[in-house]
Amino acid sequence: MANRAQRRANTRAARKGNDGRDNGLQQGTQSATSQAMFNNKADRVAEGKDEWVPSRVDMDGNAISADDADMNASDTAIQDATSASAQTNTSLKRKRTGKGWAKFFSWLLIGLSAVAFLIVMWIPNLPMWAIITVSAIFAVGVLSLFAVRGDNDKNPYLDENGTAV
């Protein structure tokens, strides 16, 4: 008797119009065909008979075909290099706001309290108030990060749905 997976596969194949008996053979043939097509394309590109053009995407995420592109590869590389250096320069020149300094001191507080906690952990016979104080300072640092968090609209690592990219 066929196992559950085979029965389900046969049922799916019957719904699609296949009898389901040669399903594995068809899949193997399809993958072999696509592999052969890939190899033929690779051979044509290697011989120079077929030109491979990389796909490009503009800043909005829209695909740019080779026909639509006005710049060649060297212009694009120069533009990317200048925009990267401009971004670096603006990040160095950026002035800190009050919220930025608060965020910096929150992380500093978390780091120092973590180091203090490691030290407190290895000192024997330390009073309980010292351990509680270090733990409370760590908790205040973590909670203060929630108070100074930035807007989701200004986060470049989130898409329009709020998902990290």
> Do 57 and 107 fall into the same domain?
no
User: Residue 159 in 3-state DSSP?
Assistant: coil
Question: Would 160 be classed as within a structural domain?
Answer: no
More confident residue, 21 or 47: 47
| pTM (global) more than 0.75 | no
Beta-carbon neighbour count of residue 67 at 10 Å? 6
- Tell me, what amino acid is at 11? T
Question: Would 165 be classed as within a structural domain?
Answer: no
Q: Is the dihedral of CA 20, 21, 23, 24 positive or negative?
A: positive
Question: Would 32 be classed as within a structural domain?
Answer: yes
Question: Would 88 be classed as within a structural domain?
Answer: no
What is the span of the domain harbouring residue 16? 4-68
pLDDT at 56 over 70: no
User: Residue 164 in 3-state DSSP?
Assistant: strand
Question: Would 90 be classed as within a structural domain?
Answer: no
Domains in the chain, number: 2
> Do 64 and 100 fall into the same domain?
no
Domain boundary among 32, 50, 68: 68
pLDDT score, position 51: 67
Q: What is the pLDDT of residues 7-46, one digit of tens each?
A: 888 888 888 876 545 555 555 556 666 777 777 777 777 7
Whole-number Å distance between alpha carbons of 150 and 32: 51
Q: What is the pLDDT of residues 100-146, one digit of tens each?
A: 899 999 999 999 999 999 998 888 888 889 989 999 999 999 999 98
pLDDT score, position 143: 94
